[in-house]
Homo-oligomer: A and B are copies of this chain.
């Protein structure tokens, strides 16, 4: 809803600048906590000028959430039914953790939205997201039935991958506060830990 006007090159460029600024602000302060003024300042535009490209604050937010959904789900889409099971799952974990490291703002944007009850994307969750998870959970269940992966609840396996990888983006301040300033790259440690965790969990003896 409320797509931005974007036909000329200048317009496309400004829409992209605004999106970048809005991602920065929304991911830090949440929807209500963010102000259009802040986003405009971050984007280097005046407030009315910004509202020329997007009709409202809500429109910017919606635009971000929907366009980012694809990026967010790509790692799961890439889970390949014809691959080697354990390696496929571990590769998924790696891709997801890499996404948390490289795009923590996107992760926090979603986290803010979902913690508050997903008012803007509830529909997407029970359609697009559910369909994809249904499909991939079936693949994983197939591997388990074939004895190629240790048995476990496939849906909760996927939830645990989301939870553990996104934790290092969403709760970054807490992780750093607990580990102390000496640990420069918590996500690298996390990668090693998660590799061990899911191998022990899923490897067939």
Number of interface residues of A (CB under 8 A): 49
Contact with B along A174-201 (1 / 0, CB 8 A): 1101111000000001101100110011
* Chain multiplicity (copies): 2
**A159 contact set on B, CB distance < 8 A:** 167, 171, 175, 178, 190
User: Is chain A's interface secondary structure helix, strand, loop, or mixed overall?
Assistant: helix
Task: Apart from A33-B116, A163-B167, list 14 A-B contacts with CB within 8 A.
Answer: A28-B117, A30-B116, A33-B33, A125-B173, A125-B178, A152-B193, A153-B189, A157-B193, A159-B167, A159-B190, A160-B167, A162-B167, A163-B163, A201-B201
Binding site for B on A (CB under 8 A): 28-33, 108, 111-112, 114-118, 122, 125-126, 129-130, 133, 150, 152-153, 155-157, 159-160, 162-164, 167, 170-171, 173-175, 177-180, 189-190, 192-193, 196-197, 200-201
